Amino acid sequence: MNNIPLWANIVIALIGSGLFGGIVSIILSPIAAKQQIKQLETTYHQKLNDNLIQNAQKYIDTLYTPIYKSLSKLDDTYEIYRTQLGILGVMDYADSGKKERMEPSDPEWAFMMQEANHSEHEALIYFVDVCKEHEKLMKDISANGLDIYLLSEFEERLVSFTSFLDRSAALAEMEIFTEKQKSESLAVSPLISSPKFEKRFRHDMQFLKNHIKEISFGTAAIKK
């Protein structure tokens, strides 16, 4: 008596006839095709990435290096401003304590406060001027058609960052020359002295400078 299940007899018969391999091949062929397509897409994007990086590297000296230098100058002058702003903040805090304690006026302290205010004011003017220099560089790059060689994601962030600086610098300039302070809630763009501006500035600055370094070393990833 044959105790082999019917399904087992069918499988054995299929294997013996060679049809089993064909059936498995039919089942697996769509999966293999999808894997092959995915592999081809990966290879294509990698090749595209390599080509774009190679083309961008041809403009390191004439395009990316000037942008990097401009960003570095912005970074340095902003740090100078933040330092002066911090000093003024400490002195303002100390001055308010003196007033609360009703201490007599001190000509030397008053002079130091005046100097701290002047230094912060000058640092802000310097930073605004550097923002204008950066904006001019970007306009020159666009006018000369060099922006076509900027990698897409980098260009998007750079244009957005430059516009952000331009708006905030214009607001600061208005305050400088009108001597009229605006509250953070009423400002159309973040005040340069605000934490909101600092957060955006540092975040974009890090991305842009790192991206230029990656392009220079050929390790940048292209946004798909």
Q: Report how many helices (DSSP H) and strands (DSSP E) the chain contains, helices first.
A: 6, 0
Whole-number percent of the chain with pLDDT over 70: 58
pLDDT value for 69: 97
Number of structural domains found in the chain: 2
Tell whether 69 and 180 lie within a shared domain: yes
Tell whether 39 and 80 lie within a shared domain: no
pLDDT tens-digit readout, 60-105: 889 999 999 999 999 999 999 999 888 877 776 666 665 555 565 6
| Residue 107 within a domain | yes
Tell whether 85 and 183 lie within a shared domain: yes
pLDDT value for 214: 86
Tell whether 77 and 131 lie within a shared domain: yes
Provide mean pLDDT across the span 178-201.
70
| Residue 1 within a domain | no
| Residue 223 within a domain | no
| Residue 152 within a domain | yes
Tell whether 195 and 93 lie within a shared domain: yes
Tell whether 151 and 128 lie within a shared domain: yes
Tell whether 203 and 108 lie within a shared domain: yes
- Decide if pLDDT at 14 tops 70: no
Tell whether 144 and 35 lie within a shared domain: no
pLDDT value for 178: 62
Tell whether 125 and 192 lie within a shared domain: yes
Provide mean pLDDT across the span 190-194.
84
How far is the C-alpha of 78 from the C-alpha of 74, rounded, in Å? 6
Question: Is the full-model pTM beyond 0.75?
Answer: no
Q: Across all residues in the chain, what is the average pLDDT?
A: 76
Tell whether 207 and 174 lie within a shared domain: yes
| Residue 70 within a domain | yes
- Decide if pLDDT at 185 tops 50: no
Tell whether 84 and 176 lie within a shared domain: yes
Tell whether 103 and 77 lie within a shared domain: yes
Higher-pLDDT residue of 4, 135: 135
Domain residues for the domain of 38 are: 6-50
Tokens encoding 107: 């000509």
